[in-house]
């Protein structure tokens, strides 16, 4: 692990990383989070009975849109031209698993874009259902996969071994 923080200069001031010398490579990141909810809330979403409409469709679009606006939200992120972004929403027994995949051909990775997509999709699920379930929680936001660039492939699974 690098002992130097890339977003801090030698004086401790925040800075945007200079990626000018990096090679353009295909980069991909996958992030996940989980929205825990009551069984009745989950059934309402899956059965399409939510008062605000198609929860899955709106959350999916919100996550994709957020991935494209990450540099507007996270101050030191580079604006990226994304080549692909998807948000998968999977009903589980006690909530919904959100998985976001983002890709680009560029000089810097898309980890923040994938994390932003997953978190905004989860927050959209919450927003659309909060009137019927104020106890929902968003849990376990994290990166699953990062590939491309000098460091190659990283997976959470491999790191945990």
- Say which DSSP state 108 is in: S
Q: If we measure between CA atoms, which residue out of 47, 34, 30, 21 comes closest to residue 102?
A: 30
According to DSSP, the β-strands at 95-106 and 137-147 are: unpaired
Q: Which residues of 122-149 are buried (b: 16+ CB within 10 A; e: fewer)?
A: bbbbbebbeebbeebebeeeebbbbbbb
To the query of whether residue 127 is one of the catalytic residues in this protein, the response is: yes
Is 104 in contact with 75 (CB distance < 8 Å)?
Answer: no
Choosing from 9, 88, 105, 127, the catalytic residue is 127
Q: Look at the alpha carbons of 106, 114, 2, 73 in this order and tell me if their dihedral is positive or negative.
A: positive
Q: Which helix (H) or strand (E) holds 102?
A: strand 95-106
Report helix, strand or coil for 104: strand
Active site positions, annotated: 127
């Amino acid at each position: 692990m690098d002992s130097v923080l890339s977003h801090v200069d030698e004086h401790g001031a925040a800075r945007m990383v200079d990626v000018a010398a990096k090679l353009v490579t295909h980069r991909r990141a996958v992030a996940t989070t989980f929205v825990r909810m009551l069984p009745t809330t989950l059934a309402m979403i899956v059965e399409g009975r939510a008062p605000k409409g198609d929860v899955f469709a709106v959350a999916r679009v919100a996550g994709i849109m957020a991935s494209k606006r990450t540099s507007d939200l996270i101050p030191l992120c580079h604006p990226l031209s994304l080549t692909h972004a998807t948000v998968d929403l999977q009903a589980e027994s006690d909530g919904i698993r959100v998985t976001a995949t983002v890709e680009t051909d560029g000089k810097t990775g898309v980890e923040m874009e994938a994390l932003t997509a997953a978190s905004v999709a989860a927050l959209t699920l919450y927003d659309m259902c909060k009137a019927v379930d104020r106890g929902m929680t968003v849990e376990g936001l994290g990166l699953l996969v990062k590939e491309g660039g000098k460091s190659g492939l990283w997976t959470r699974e491999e790191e945990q071994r």
